[in-house]
Amino acid sequence: MKTMKVVRLLAPGNLKMMDMPRPVPGPHQVLCKVKRVGVCGTDYSIYTGEASFVKSGAVHFPMTLGHEWSGTVAELGPDVAQFKVGDRVVGDTGVGCGYCTDCMLGQWPKCTKMQAVGTVFAWDGGYAEYVLMPERHLFHLPDAVSFDNGALVEPSATALYSVKKAQVQIGDTVLVQGSGPIGILAARLAKLSGASKVAITGRKDSKLKTAVDMGIDGAINTQRESLLDGVRRIFGAPKVDRIIEASGSTELFRESFGLIKSGGALSVVAFYDKPLKEFDIDQFVFSDIIMAAVPGSLGMFPPVLNLMASGMLDATKIVTERAPLAKVTELLPKLKENADQRIKILLELE
């Protein structure tokens, strides 16, 4: 039996590198060799057990993390039609049953048997030498898109969904809350969507600088300036058309409602891990805004791959650190320490 190296999460707090049998692809399945895998804040919340969906029992242990990966096709199961050995690929974030009506309509997140890759219900992810995927959940990586950018398709796709759900239109003013990977990518994608001005909020100057270097118009360091002062300074007005909430801060979520013009929209793409204690529903109703939830990236891989292939989106600017796979057992437990400069860690495999 062939084996592979896997970084396995046996239980919250117990992450170990080990050898496991290499999966054998069944009908319509593809075994992929992982080249790059991104380390996500969600991975950290699963590792610590703090994520709401770990507490509710939706993550089944042992499991393999890693939902942001790129690689090549290593082995084909019977009847695979769309891929051949050596093809460069990226994988979807979830696997549906493939047979129910929702799966047939492409709405696999609604599938009652859905398994998310490396997160909820744990389809084994990319913290491993190989990942097994049904071919219906694989995408070809265009020649012009590097493996680095390939591993950043998933966060870019989630960011794009947040921009679409905020209904960003040409000429709009947009505020993005939070300067993590999703926030920075959402700000960039809001610009690409035609926003006239985009500002980003955060607490670390180096991360805000990365966003500005990617073409974002203004930055608000909320350690030094109030949100309202920052919005007035950058937009010359107290309110904006759209806000994308990617900070995970319940305070910024609450404050966002007072900063959106009547008829505008708020999209929420972060996880909060704790419920909001008090929410002024009347303020929300009077605001005449739309609030939209962004749980993932459904349908956004193809446009993101197109933007990357055309050179309009280079997500690698958010990569602040690279390490071999084995090192993640040290890096993940300390993800929140010394995180002032850190935006995205990419793990590199041979």
If one asks whether residue 271 binds Zn ion (CB under 5 A), the answer comes out as no
Q: Does 4 bind Zn ion (CB under 5 A)?
A: no
Q: Nearest approach, Cβ of 21 to Zn ion (angstroms)?
A: 27
- Give the position of tokens 């690689």: 71
In terms of CB distance, is 111 or 265 closer to Zn ion?
A: 111
Q: Given the complex with Zn ion, which of 259 and 270 has the nearer CB atom?
A: 270
Provide the minimum distance between the beta carbon of 158 and Zn ion in the complex, in angstroms, as a whole number: 7
Q: Does 111 bind Zn ion (CB under 5 A)?
A: yes
Q: Pseudo-torsion of CA 57, 118, 300, 34, nearest 10°? A: 180
Contacts with Zn ion by CB under 5 A: the residue count is 7
- Closest to Zn ion by CB, 103 vs 300, is 103
Q: Which residue has the tokens 């129910």?
A: 100
Q: Return the axis-axis angle of helices 301-309 and 153-165, rounded to nearest 10°.
A: 110
Out of 97, 192, 212, 228, which residue is the one contacting Zn ion (CB under 5 A)? 97
Q: Is 122 in the site for Zn ion (CB under 5 A)?
A: no
Cβ closer to Zn ion: 58 or 100? 100
Q: φ, ψ for residue 162 (rounded to 5)?
A: -65, -35
52 vs 283, beta carbon nearer Zn ion: 52
Residue 40 contacts Zn ion per CB under 5 A? yes
Scanning residues 41 to 60, which ones bind Zn ion (CB under 5 A)? 42
Q: Which is nearer to Zn ion, 159 or 259 (CB)?
A: 159
Give the integer Cα–Cα distance in Å for 152 and 69. 8
Per-position DSSP letters for 86-100, written without gaps between them: T-EEEE-SEE--SSS
Strand, helix or coil for residue 41: helix
Beta strand pairing status for 218-221 and 130-134?
unpaired
Q: Which of 103, 128, 138, 231 binds Zn ion (CB under 5 A)?
A: 103
Contact indicator for 18, 8 with CB cutoff of 8 Å: yes
User: How many Å apart are CA 2 and CA 22, to the nearest integer?
Assistant: 6
> In 10 A of CB 188, how many CB atoms?
28
If binding is defined by CB under 5 A, does position 183 make contact with Zn ion? Answer: no
Binding residues for Zn ion, per CB under 5 A? 40, 42, 96-97, 100, 103, 111
